[in-house]
């Protein structure tokens, strides 16, 4: 058996806008699949309530919610497998609570500028529990509870990971665009011109096409093919998927993109910044 | 906040053939979703090779494969959440390696007859790695490796859990049918007449309808809606899904069903068996 082959994605590939688009479109499918699956369970509000499961506090000293505990447990296993060393994966759990990897580190190409990396998982978790889960499980009702906290939490963890990956991928978009038009970006960053930065990374026609595509995907993948009228009896409300992207995923990705850019020059020497500004170097 | 509501599925509900059918059909969707997702990664044969990751042996004393290690890690977290106390969930990992639940036990209705419970996860794992994963990833090739062992293993664990749940659900079918025609079953069990038992639990027309439905689901859910010809550019080969059920899931479920029935009288007194045989009691 050949020795384990390490990830060898090149810097060039990781920053190609074509490659990024492929990943983002594939993640739309994954996110929809996970949300459809989560929508098969009831709301189970107790899962998100800090302290609602006394045994977690008594036996594990855990004061937060069931789902947060489940995230910590899952992310701990994944930490041993060095998942959080990958440049496109960020944990929900405080890294201080996660164990060290048991595998030797992978030499990822240094694609992102480390001091600029942003983690918005707190915002993702809040939106997920406060808005998305209630919307996904609306047909069962706000007070619905099926007791299946294990299955539902597995879906939560998968869905949250997919959303997190999608939103943090914005940093690759930022870095890619920064390198392709460095002087313009350096100028806007130095002026703290967030409006300009937002305009530089935003393509309204791409966003509009995304929402149309997403609605179509929700209508296809959400069909309940066990029902006699699959195209009416949907397992996910397409509006919920569209709203999620329009009102949350796209704006928060933009926040990540702009915040990353605002920190993109932090810690660089004046000389280096000058070279970037004059277009002599692009990173 | 109301206290945590425990699962209170009644014995009657758990054994209703209507309820069982609903669960099984819903699991078809889950299985397809997970297999489609797994098919997005390469074959990554090294993930299934015992001892291929030296660090697992050195640091964790683990001599088996990466995926088996990942199963153990995941199933350990789930064990703390008492997942393996549920009558429809069985771990792939040796229970001796799993930690005790931290939550108080749930009082599940005693639906299955405990001494008859069967665990065929070894067979499921072998088929999965030797046949299913190569078939799902055929378009990438037998030697394909994308290095994404973390993501691929998460999909493996989810897909295996869904297949395991589906196949072990056969025990509920067996118990349900046993109770509805107890004297006939007791007679066949005492005669060790496996052909008869198989005939009693098999409905060829239901199996045929399942395969047709499954092919339809694979064609709908497998569409790559990022492609310009989604209905041709499928993310899963519908034949792979049909073969999986026809040649593996259905036959192995039958093995589980018959094995369960063959042990259904183990440990009962002669008096009790006589009462079952004469139709005085049904369990």
- Work out the mean pLDDT of chain A and round it to a whole number: 92
Which of the four pLDDT bands, split at 50, 70 and 90, describes residue A9? low
Nearest to B145 among A5, A45, A102 (CB): A5
Nearest to A217 among B4, B56, B225 (CB): B225
Pick from A19, A70, A81, A161 the residue to mutate for testing the B interface (most B CBs within 10 Å): A81
> For residue A8, is pLDDT > 70?
no
- A125-137: pLDDT as tens digits: 999 999 999 999 9
Q: What one-character-per-residue DSSP string does chain B give?
A: -PPPPPP---HHHHT-HHHHHHHHHHHHHHHHHHHHHHTTS---GGGGSTT-SHHHHHHH---S-HHHHHHHHHHHHHHHTTGGGSTT---SS-GGGSPPPSSPPP-----S-GGG----HHHHHHHIIIIIHHHHTGGG-TT---S-HHHHHHHHHHHHHHHHHHHHTHHHHHHHHHHHTHHHHHHHHHTT-HHHHHHHH--HHHHHHHHHHHHHHHHHHTB-TTSSSTTTSBSS-HHHHHHIIIIIIHHHHHHHHHHHHHTTTTT--HHHHHHHHTTS---
Tokens of B98: 């799993």
Q: Alpha carbon A179 to chain centroid distance?
A: 23
Report how far residue A262's alpha carbon sits from residue A121's, in angstroms, rounded to the nearest whole number.
Answer: 19
> For residue B63, is pLDDT > 90?
yes
Pair A152, A44: CB distance under 8 Å: yes
Beta bridge partners of A223: A234
> For residue B278, is pLDDT > 90?
yes
Listed by start position, the domains of chain A span: 15-277
Nearest to B213 among A29, A60, A225 (CB): A225
Beta bridge partners of A258: none
Q: CB distance A150–B86 less than 8 Å?
A: yes
- The domain A15-277 having CATH identifier 2.40.100.10: the answer here is no
- Dihedral of CA atoms A108, A109, A115, A117 in degrees, nearest 10, equals -70
Could you tell me which residues come within 8 angstroms of residue A161 by beta carbon, excluding any fewer than 6 positions away? A89
Pick from A76, A82, A221 the residue to mutate for testing the B interface (most B CBs within 10 Å): A221
Q: CB distance B8–A147 less than 8 Å?
A: yes
Q: CB distance B145–A81 less than 8 Å?
A: no
Nearest to B81 among A83, A150, A225 (CB): A150
Report how far residue B73's alpha carbon sits from residue B98's, in angstroms, rounded to the nearest whole number.
Answer: 9
Q: CB distance B103–A53 less than 8 Å?
A: yes
- A148-201: pLDDT as tens digits: 888 899 999 999 999 999 999 999 999 999 999 999 999 999 999 999 999 999
Report how far residue B247's alpha carbon sits from residue A195's, in angstroms, rounded to the nearest whole number.
Answer: 59
Candidates 1.10.590.10, 3.90.700.10, 1.20.1090.10, 3.60.20.40; correct CATH number of B26-277?
1.10.590.10
Pair A74, A157: CB distance under 8 Å: yes
Report how far residue A271's alpha carbon sits from residue B256's, in angstroms, rounded to the nearest whole number.
Answer: 72
Q: CB distance A81–B220 less than 8 Å?
A: no
Dmax (CA) of chain B: 68
> What's the gap in Å between the CA of B151 and the closest CA on chain A?
9
Report how far residue B82's alpha carbon sits from residue B99's, in angstroms, rounded to the nearest whole number.
Answer: 10
- B211-266: pLDDT as tens digits: 999 999 999 999 999 888 887 889 999 999 999 999 999 999 999 999 999 999 99
Which of the four pLDDT bands, split at 50, 70 and 90, describes residue A108? confident
* Interface predicted TM-score of the whole assembly (ipTM), two decimals: 0.88
Q: What is the DSSP letter of A130?
A: I
- B176-223: pLDDT as tens digits: 999 999 999 999 999 999 999 999 999 999 999 999 999 999 999 999
- What confidence score (pLDDT) does residue A12 get? 83
- A114-126: pLDDT as tens digits: 999 999 999 999 9
């Amino acid at each position: 058996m050949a020795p384990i082959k390490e990830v060898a994605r090149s810097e060039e590939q990781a920053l190609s806008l074509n490659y990024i688009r492929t990943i983002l479109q594939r993640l739309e499918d994954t996110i929809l699949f996970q949300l459809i699956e989560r929508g098969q369970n009831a709301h189970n509000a107790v899962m998100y309530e800090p302290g609602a499961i006394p045994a977690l506090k008594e036996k594990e000293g855990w004061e937060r919610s069931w789902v947060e505990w489940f995230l910590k447990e899952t992310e701990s296993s994944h930490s041993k497998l060095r998942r959080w060393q990958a440049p496109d994966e960020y944990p929900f759990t405080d890294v201080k609570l996660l164990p060290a990897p048991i595998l030797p580190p992978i030499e990822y190409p240094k694609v992102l500028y480390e001091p600029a990396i942003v983690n918005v998982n707190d915002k993702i978790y809040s939106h997920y529990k406060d808005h998305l889960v209630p919307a996904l499980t609306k047909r069962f009702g706000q007070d619905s509870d099926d007791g299946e906290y294990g299955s539902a939490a597995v879906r939560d963890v998968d869905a949250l990971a997919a959303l997190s990956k999608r939103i943090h991928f914005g940093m690759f978009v930022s870095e890619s665009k920064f390198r392709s038009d460095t002087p313009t970006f350096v100028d806007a960053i130095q002026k703290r011109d967030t409006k300009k930065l937002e305009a530089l990374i935003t393509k309204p026609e791409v966003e509009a096409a995304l929402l149309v595509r997403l609605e179509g995907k929700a209508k296809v993948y959400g069909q309940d093919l066990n029902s006699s009228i699959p195209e009416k009896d949907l397992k996910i409300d397409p509006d919920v998927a569209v709203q999620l992207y329009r009102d949350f995923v796209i704006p928060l990705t933009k926040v990540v993109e702009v915040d990353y850019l605002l920190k993109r020059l932090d810690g660089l020497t004046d000389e280096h910044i000058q070279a970037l500004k004059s277009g002599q170097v692009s990173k």
